[in-house]
Amino acid sequence: MEFDREYFEQGPMTGKSLYTNYRWLPELTIPLCHHLARECPFSVGDTILDFGCAKGYIVHALRLLGYEAYGVDISEYAISQAPKEVNGYVTLIEPYAWISPLHYNWIICKDILEHIPYERIDEQIQILADSCNDLIAMVPLGDGEKYHIPAYEQDVTHIIREDLEWWNKRFMANGFVIEVETHELGPFKSNWQGIHPQGNGLFIVYRKDVETPAA
């Protein structure tokens, strides 16, 4: 399955995803990134990578807020559509590839890990652990067979449908310590939280060889 124009712009019409006209919405993205920066928290001088950055909108917002942010994605289409302001800061990569020569203070992994096949999820999390001190991940949750939020089934690239405990074990098995594990996503996915309060999970984790989480 290719993350192409149809996936990002015509998802429901083509049966590929939930995305329609995936575009820069500063009135939404900048406040969300400000919340993210405060809650993690990010510090001045931190390097931040948006892993699976799509068109680079989170990178753009974080840089507008003064953070040294970068992004990578496997979608040639998405990277080609990134705003000119993030040219040079977002990069096309191959799946399961070494991320970059930089070691990041933080990696953001929002709605990405559920796309990874079960047999490669440990490999992917280990790649992330080798590339950062701290990681914030958001994932849709399920019971092993289906998502708690039925709409998530409409994305044909979604694979992993597991609960918080399953993800906890995967992070811990691959070099991370859990700092935050919750169904509460703050302003993220607010349209779902009232209807399906256990439909999504948020993790803030740090590497075992880092004495304390970022502060």
Tens of pLDDT, residue by residue over 68-127, are 999 999 999 999 999 999 999 999 999 998 887 679 999 999 999 999 999 999 999 999
- Reported as type and span, the H/E element at residue 201 is strand 200-207
Provide the pairing of β-strand 200-207 with 132-140.
antiparallel
Give residue-wise pLDDT tens across range 184-198. Answer: 998 898 888 888 999
Say what the pLDDT of residue 2 is. Answer: 85
Query: With bands split at pLDDT 50, 70 and 90, how would you rate the model's confidence at 209?
Result: confident
Say what the pLDDT of residue 19 is. Answer: 97
Range of the domain at 116: 25-207
- Separation CA 111–CA 201 (nearest Å): 10
CB atoms within 10 A of CB 178: 15
Residue 6 within any structural domain of the chain: no
Residue 139 within any structural domain of the chain: yes
Catalogue the long-range contacts made by 84-87 (C-beta closer than 8 Å, 24 or more residues apart).
85/60, 86/56, 86/59, 86/60
Alpha-carbon dihedral 130, 209, 164, 108, rounded to 10 degrees: -50
Distances (CA, A) of 33 to 51, 102, 112, 163: 15, 22, 17, 25
Say what the pLDDT of residue 1 is. Answer: 62
Residue 158 within any structural domain of the chain: yes
Say what the pLDDT of residue 157 is. Answer: 97
Residue 91 within any structural domain of the chain: yes
* Average pLDDT, rounded, for the chain: 94
CATH of the domain at 82: 3.40.50.150
Mean pLDDT of 172-178: 96
Query: With bands split at pLDDT 50, 70 and 90, how would you rate the model's confidence at 210?
Result: confident
Say what the pLDDT of residue 193 is. Answer: 80
Query: Above 80 in pLDDT, residue 214?
Result: no
Query: With bands split at pLDDT 50, 70 and 90, how would you rate the model's confidence at 168?
Result: very high
- Separation CA 14–CA 103 (nearest Å): 38
Contact 208, 176 (CB under 8 A): yes
Residue 212 within any structural domain of the chain: no
Query: With bands split at pLDDT 50, 70 and 90, how would you rate the model's confidence at 160?
Result: very high
Residue 20 within any structural domain of the chain: no
Give residue-wise pLDDT tens across range 38-65. Answer: 999 999 899 999 999 999 999 999 999 9
CB atoms within 10 A of CB 169: 12
* Domains: count for the chain: 1
Amino acid occupying residue 84: K
Say what the pLDDT of residue 215 is. Answer: 45
Residue 74 within any structural domain of the chain: yes
Contact 69, 62 (CB under 8 A): yes
- Reported as type and span, the H/E element at residue 136 is strand 132-140
- Separation CA 135–CA 170 (nearest Å): 13
pTM of structure: 0.94
Say what the pLDDT of residue 211 is. Answer: 59
Residue 87 within any structural domain of the chain: yes
Exposure string of 35-67, with b = 16+ CB inside 10 Å and e = fewer, is ebbeebebeeebbbbbbbbbbbbbbbbbbeeeb
